[in-house]
Amino acid sequence: MKKIKVGNFEIFSGCPVFLIAGPCVIENEEIIFKVCAELKRITENLGINFIFKSSYDKANRSSIKSYRGPGLKKGLEMLKKVKEEYNVPVLSDVHRHEEIEYASSVLDIIQIPAFLCRQTDLVVDVAKTGKVVNVKKGQFLAPEDMKNIIEKIESTGNQNIILTERGTTFGYHNLVVDMRNFPIMRSFGYPVVYDATHSVQRPGGLGVCSGGDRDMVPYLLRASVGAGVDGIFMEVHPEPEKALCDGPNSLRLSDLEGLLKQVIKIDKVVKGYD
């Protein structure tokens, strides 16, 4: 498996599980600073490598009334402040070609949203930045289909690739996670992340917004780490009931530390490190 440098650490086969986490969307500067400070405290205490994630724009929303975020420039300015204040790598997603140049000047990892993972020109142009590219596997794709996306990125000479599983569409307003996807995608030679909170989402389940079952996050997360994932992805919020986006599937920030302690124990058994 390729070694990928992110900030001051490396991701590689058999490395201790790393964490990508933060609020779904940037609501305001106060919340992202509060969440990042707590996430850094927790991960430093537990010895987990950490990447902060929050979206400056959630363009793939069910309703025109949905909160999308502060937008490209204002959002990236806030992410830059977080990055500098807490000395952590930052990740956010791009939706349009016009965003790529500015986003790449701030972000350590550029994320391709699941709904856009087959958009060849977008994927290739993001890859050309040389930044680490995190591709969310579309809810409509088989794990083997991710090889084609890898080839698109590699065609630019960029081998800084992360693949993220976030569930597969099962009927209406429901997702399921096939644990076989993890070893299949890891066999392609790149780190695989499990998105535990989007996997319990119920897309469009509330009519004008997504529902979710956050109570299921711990069960699926522990199972994924048992299956040997390299990293885990969770959207967390101090008060999920008041979150402006993806609240029903976001993990309560106060529940994170205990869950990560369980995750570390499982990860050590699976990967054989102390």
Q: Is residue 187's pLDDT more than 90?
A: yes
Element (H, E) at 262: helix 256-271
What are the tokens at 145? 């289909």
pLDDT recorded at residue 204: 60
Q: Using N-to-C axis directions, what is the helix angle for 29-46 and 72-86, rounded to 10°?
A: 40
Partnered with residue 18 across adjacent β-strands are 231
pTM, whole model, 2 decimals? 0.95
pLDDT recorded at residue 209: 52
Q: What does the pLDDT average to over 84-95? A: 97
Q: Is residue 247's pLDDT more than 90?
A: no
Count of Cβ atoms closer than 10 Å to residue 239 Cβ: 12
pLDDT recorded at residue 210: 59
The angle subtended at Cα 179 by Cα 95 and Cα 187, nearest 5°, is 75
Spatial distance between the Cα atoms of 165 and 145, rounded to a whole number of angstroms: 12
Spatial distance between the Cα atoms of 180 and 10, rounded to a whole number of angstroms: 25
User: Can you name the CATH fold of 17-266?
Assistant: TIM Barrel (3.20.20)
Count of Cβ atoms closer than 10 Å to residue 59 Cβ: 16
Q: What does the pLDDT average to over 37-59? A: 97
Residue 18's pLDDT band (boundaries 50, 70, 90)?
very high
In this structure, what is the dihedral angle of CA atoms 88, 177, 56, 145, given to the nearest 10 degrees? Answer: 100
